[in-house]
């Protein structure tokens, strides 16, 4: 497995392998998946800093590059974070854009079925490439298996395209424990201006989320819709 990030010796080849894996995956999928992956590939080739292992680009610039509006950028970036292909390393703030890094291990895990279509040499290289770092002991150079996915529950359904569905995708990827235990059960009840209203299965459930997870919940919602300034969780009837 290509188990190092694309830095150091052989980095150029690993970058091309990563982009090839994404492209081969997309070409075997439907149109919406193809567009999403093409947008990521274009963003990476145009703006990714491999030396810093970071993507630091504003939504307005991404929108211009993708020929879309900023609302579409928010949705697409949320989808990429939700599947673990992009990882947020620094949240955006006033006068400072958010910073991301590529989720290389997750990208390779998800694109593996398409490797054979590139060719046996490509599949072998990504499956068995040794670590080219220094020799630190008898285990150095061995293939490191991909970690299991943290969340052992299925990802949320994004078909309705709501702000809550996209926020759930982010929480599923970045906070799998709280998502599985508490946030997965919440249902969208409505929206009034900047207030998003969610429904919990019980009073205890609602109280726990409001007390312990409110900030995390609000941050995920605001990352896909800056118009949200409050998330209210109440118990269902």
More confident residue, 138 or 91: 91
Residue 135: pLDDT band with limits 50, 70, 90: very low
**Tens of pLDDT, residues 1-52:** 444 455 555 566 788 899 999 999 999 999 999 999 999 999 999 999 988 8
E strand or H helix that includes residue 230: strand 230-235
Residue with tokens 């409110």: 214
The pLDDT assigned to 126 comes to: 84
Q: What is the mean pLDDT of the chain?
A: 83
The pLDDT assigned to 133 comes to: 43
Backbone torsions φ then ψ of 150, nearest 5 degrees: -65, -40
More confident residue, 190 or 130: 190
More confident residue, 161 or 201: 201
The distance of Cα 171 from the centroid of its chain, to the nearest Å, equals 10
Rounded CA-CA distance 39/53 in Å is 18
Is the confidence at residue 136, as pLDDT, over 90? no
The pLDDT assigned to 167 comes to: 92
């Amino acid at each position: 497995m290509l188990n190092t990030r694309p830095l150091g010796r052989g980095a150029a080849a690993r970058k091309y392998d990563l982009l090839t894996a994404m492209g081969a995956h997309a070409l075997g999928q439907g149109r919406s998946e193809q567009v999403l992956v093409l947008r990521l590939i274009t963003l990476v080739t145009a703006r990714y800093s491999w030396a810093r292992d970071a993507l630091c680009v504003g939504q307005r610039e991404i929108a211009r590059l993708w020929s879309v509006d900023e609302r579409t950028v928010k949705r697409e970036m949320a989808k990429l974070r939700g599947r673990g292909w992009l990882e947020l390393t620094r949240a955006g703030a006033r006068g400072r854009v958010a910073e991301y890094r590529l989720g290389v291990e997750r990208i390779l895990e998800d694109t593996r079925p398409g490797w054979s279509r590139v060719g046996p040499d490509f599949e072998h290289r990504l499956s068995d490439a040794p670590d080219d770092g220094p020799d630190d002991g008898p285990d150095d150079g061995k293939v490191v298996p991909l970690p299991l996915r943290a969340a052992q529950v299925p990802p949320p359904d994004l078909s309705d395209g709501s702000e809550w569905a996209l926020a759930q995708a982010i929480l599923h990827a970045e906070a799998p424990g709280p998502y599985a235990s508490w946030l997965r059960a919440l249902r969208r009840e409505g929206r009034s201006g900047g207030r998003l209203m969610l429904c919990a299965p019980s009073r205890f459930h609602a109280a726990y989320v409001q007390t312990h997870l409110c900030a995390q919940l609000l941050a995920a919602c605001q990352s896909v819709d800056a118009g949200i300034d409050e998330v209210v969780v109440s118990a269902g009837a």
